[in-house]
Structure 1
Amino acid sequence: MDTRELLKKVSEGTMSVEQAEAELKDLPYKDLGYAKLDFHRKLRSGFPETVFCQGKPDAYLIQIFQTLYERNGEVLGTRASAEQYELVKTVLPETVYDPISRIIKIEKENKAKEGCIVICTGGTADIPVAEEAAQTAEFFGSSVDRVYDVGVAGLHRLLSQRERIQKANCVVAVAGMEGALGTVVAGLVENPVIAVPTSVGYGANFNGLSALLTMINSCANGISVVNIDNGYGAGYLSTQINRLAVHK
């Protein structure tokens, strides 16, 4: 329950002042000892805290998911393994898992999606990172249009999708190898472009460093760059941009 919902219950008389006071004690954050869960994240930034699952001990992960779900009614986790999903599902049966993006989530039903974010990939191998971005954006309330496998090796594929790309409030360009897709897309549209370098490629790709440097050094305007394979960061930022465009 967030602050607005709590205050509404008090004003409607469905919650006593004493109950509200008890709830408010935990509102800023919940200290689990090994984790301090930020209950005010949505109040400050518009979106609830996300769980980075990779590396977390099983018992910690379960309690973190349970606590956030009880508080927010939904929870998003990134970089989750299939084993972690099965573990969380034993205590939260509503949990769903996408093995491609490695997203684990419990989402509120009938959540409205607004605006438009287009997510492009250079190749099929970039889709896991792109899906992390797409599912993050959708979880946070954005409508996403996927335009996959439109890399610069066959530029006609990208140009044939130009109309779809230009309608977006924000475009996410996901690419490995030399990472040229972000620059090309930014040269075609007037709206912001978020470039995501991936670790896809051969030796001199240096696990995404080559694509990262290409994107950072782009001569195209209106392009920003997130870290290598950081689909979550791109999905989050694109949703912020999309939300501003929708509500301007």
Structure 2
Amino acid sequence: MNEEALDRLLRDVRAGRTTIEAALAALRWLPFADLGFAKVDTHRLLRRRAAEAVYCPGKTAEQIIRIADTLRGAGAPVLLTRAGPEVAAAALAAFPDARHVAGASLVVIGALPERRIGSVGVLTGGTGDLAVAEEAAWTAEAMGASVTRAYDVGVAGLHRLGAQRDLLQRARALVVVAGMDGALPAVVAGLTRAPVIGVPTSVGYGAHFGGIAPLLTMLNACAPGVAVVNIDNGFGAGYLAAVINAGPEARRSPEEVSGETALCDDDAHRLP
């Protein structure tokens, strides 16, 4: 249930179109829906105002479909992350509005927001980082952000980054995905006022240690303004970028907004 649905329900009770018993039945599942194998948080959209996600590894296709079906009632897109071919096929069969983003091992259920706001940039050091970057980009788009992609602009050919000056200047948040030595986020942070979210990937040879090397590089970035998520965590980076992009207005409760409006109305009627 989202804010609009809750508002409609309460208005229907007040107008006598819905009984108190029916409203209680609808609200009873607000905290979570107990499926036995999972307690699905159906209240999260009200708190976070963001798309819901299901991490697929370790769950059966049937479990994932039941969780996703429960979450769909909230009214926001549902993301199935790290979705393999079996899960993707099951989701496409179960949900007519689902799409499989194979390059990101992602399934998106439901329509993305028509109105996109702000500017989030997603950059990669190399083409090998695309899967993680696409997970980040789709996540941010599902949360209403306008996303620009700039791929294969790593430090091995730093002149390629220069062509992205406009993006570096206008972005509200930048997701920078890199494997190997993981130097790109620090370089980007030195060229922009936007916060940089570094995503180390498991792309690299031997002493790269499956992403540990770029993770440590990003954590030790000399340029200020760099935050780092876990190895290959495109979802976490895209989510954080979208929250930053939305700004403080999106994090204010309706009560705060209505309270400020009431104060402004009072001030308008005061004599100087």
1:10–1:16: 8 Å Cα contact kept in structure 2? no
Structure 1, 149-158 or 86-95: larger mean CA deviation: 86-95
2:140 match: 137
1:159 match: 162
2:45–2:74: 8 Å Cα contact kept in structure 1? no
Match runs of 1:10-21 below 5 Å: 10-12=10-12, 13=15, 15-21=18-24
Go from structure 1 to structure 2 and tell me whether the alpha carbon gap of 1:205 and 1:52 turns closer, same or farther (over 3 Å shift).
same
Task: Provide the rounded CA distance (Å) in 2 between the counterparts of 1:239 and 1:72.
Answer: 18
Deviations 1:203-248 (A, max 9, x none): 1111111000000001110110000000000000000100016769
| 1:146 lines up with 2:153 in the alignment | no
| 1:2 lines up with 2:5 in the alignment | no
Deviations 1:134-183 (A, max 9, x none): 00000011000001110001111001211222210001110000000000
Match runs of 1:189-200 below 5 Å: 189-200=192-203
Go from structure 1 to structure 2 and tell me whether the alpha carbon gap of 1:193 and 1:140 turns closer, same or farther (over 3 Å shift).
same
1:126 match: 129
Task: Provide the rounded CA distance (Å) in 2 between the counterparts of 1:190 and 1:99.
Answer: 33
Deviations 1:60-116 (A, max 9, x none): 112111111134353111100121111122222221111101111112365311100
Go from structure 1 to structure 2 and tell me whether the alpha carbon gap of 1:134 and 1:180 turns closer, same or farther (over 3 Å shift).
same
1:24 match: 27
Q: After TM superposition, give the deviation of residue 201 of structure 1 in Å.
A: 0.8
Give identity over the alignment, percent. Answer: 48
1:97–1:104: 8 Å Cα contact kept in structure 2? yes
How many residues align? The count is 248
**1:104 pairs with one of 76, 90, 107:** 107
Q: After TM superposition, give the deviation of residue 195 of structure 1 in Å.
A: 0.4
What residue identity is the alignment partner of 1:108? A
What residue identity is the alignment partner of 1:46? R
Task: Provide the rounded CA distance (Å) in 2 between the counterparts of 1:123 and 1:109.
Answer: 27
2:174 match: 171
Go from structure 1 to structure 2 and tell me whether the alpha carbon gap of 1:46 and 1:123 turns closer, same or farther (over 3 Å shift).
same
Task: Provide the rounded CA distance (Å) in 1 between the counterparts of 2:101 and 2:117.
Answer: 22
Structure 1, 9-18 or 133-142: larger mean CA deviation: 9-18
Q: After TM superposition, give the deviation of residue 7 of structure 1 in Å.
A: 2.7
What residue identity is the alignment partner of 1:216? L
Go from structure 1 to structure 2 and tell me whether the alpha carbon gap of 1:73 and 1:167 turns closer, same or farther (over 3 Å shift).
closer
What residue identity is the alignment partner of 1:88? A
Go from structure 1 to structure 2 and tell me whether the alpha carbon gap of 1:67 and 1:27 turns closer, same or farther (over 3 Å shift).
same
Task: Provide the rounded CA distance (Å) in 1 between the counterparts of 2:51 and 2:154.
Answer: 34
Go from structure 1 to structure 2 and tell me whether the alpha carbon gap of 1:218 and 1:73 turns closer, same or farther (over 3 Å shift).
closer
Q: After TM superposition, give the deviation of residue 49 of structure 1 in Å.
A: 2.9
What residue identity is the alignment partner of 2:33? K
1:89 match: 92
SS in 2 for 1:50: strand
TM-score, normalised via structure 1 length: 0.94
2:177–2:198: 8 Å Cα contact kept in structure 1? yes
2:52–2:76: 8 Å Cα contact kept in structure 1? no
SS in 1 for 2:176: strand
Go from structure 1 to structure 2 and tell me whether the alpha carbon gap of 1:35 and 1:158 turns closer, same or farther (over 3 Å shift).
same
Any gaps of 5 or more consecutive residues in structure 2? 252-272
TM-score, normalised via structure 2 length: 0.86
